């Protein structure tokens, strides 16, 4: 597959693509079926509340080929924001064609313009070695942290 990759911020009109990508990612990575009503509400809420974050979309050959979500975490230790890269999805037919690299490059460019960003973080499935290799190739490093959660 050849062709230029365009990256842009998502708008409300892109919600359907993002919802489909999230459903596909959950099924593919965790064999989890996301409730359509809940994921739709979650995607719409972020699109309507930019103070929580934003989505980026990558387009190639006239198609939306991939997306990611950025959310914010304040770091008092660094007096800056970490941008959490989440909900990364690239359509299977566009994988290994530079889609994620283009999205990540765009994230870095936006962060440099922003001036308050001190770094990027993401989490990845322990067994997703292909993604881990990609993240390392872009300069990201594995941390010493383990993530815990409790859902309410």
Q: What is the pLDDT of residue 127?
A: 87
Q: Per-residue pLDDT for 96 more than 70? A: yes
Residue 2 and residue 12: Cα distance in Å, rounded? 28
Q: Per-residue pLDDT for 97 more than 80? A: yes
pTM, two decimals, is: 0.93
Digit-coded pLDDT (tens) for 101-119: 999 999 999 999 999 999 9
Give 136-140's long-range contacts (Cβ < 8 A, gap of 24+). 138/101, 138/104
> What are 81's strand-pairing partners?
74, 117
Digit-coded pLDDT (tens) for 33-88: 999 999 999 999 999 999 999 999 999 999 999 999 999 999 999 999 999 999 99
Q: Which residue has the higher pLDDT, 130 or 13?
A: 13
Q: Which residues contact 7 (CB under 8 A, 6 or more apart)?
A: 56, 57, 58, 59, 102, 103, 105, 106
Q: Which residues contact 101 (CB under 8 A, 6 or more apart)?
A: 134, 138
Q: What is the pLDDT of residue 2?
A: 62
* Owner of token pair 């001190």: 118
Q: What is the pLDDT of residue 1?
A: 53
Helix 36-48 to helix 15-30 angle (10° resolution) is 130
Residue 93 DSSP symbol: G
Q: What is the pLDDT of residue 128?
A: 87
CATH superfamily of 5-137: Gcn5-related N-acetyltransferase (GNAT) (3.40.630.30)
Confidence of residue 3 (pLDDT cuts 50, 70, 90): confident
């Amino acid at each position: 597959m050849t062709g230029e990759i365009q990256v842009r911020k998502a708008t409300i009109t892109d919600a359907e693509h993002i919802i489909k990508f999230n459903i596909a990612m959950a099924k593919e990575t965790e064999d989890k079926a996301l409730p359509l009503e809940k994921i739709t509400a979650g995607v719409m809420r972020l699109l309507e509340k930019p103070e929580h974050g934003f989505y980026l979309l990558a387009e190639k050959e006239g198609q939306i080929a991939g997306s990611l979500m950025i959310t914010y975490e304040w770091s008092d230790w660094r007096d800056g924001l970490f941008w959490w890269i989440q909900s990364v999805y690239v359509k299977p037919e566009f994988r290994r064609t530079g889609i994620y690299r283009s999205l990540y490059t765009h994230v870095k460019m936006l962060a440099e313009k922003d001036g308050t960003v001190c770094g990027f973080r993401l989490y990845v499935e322990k067994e997703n070695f292909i993604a881990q290799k990609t993240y390392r190739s872009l300069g990201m490093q594995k941390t010493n942290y383990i993530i815990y959660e409790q859902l309410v």
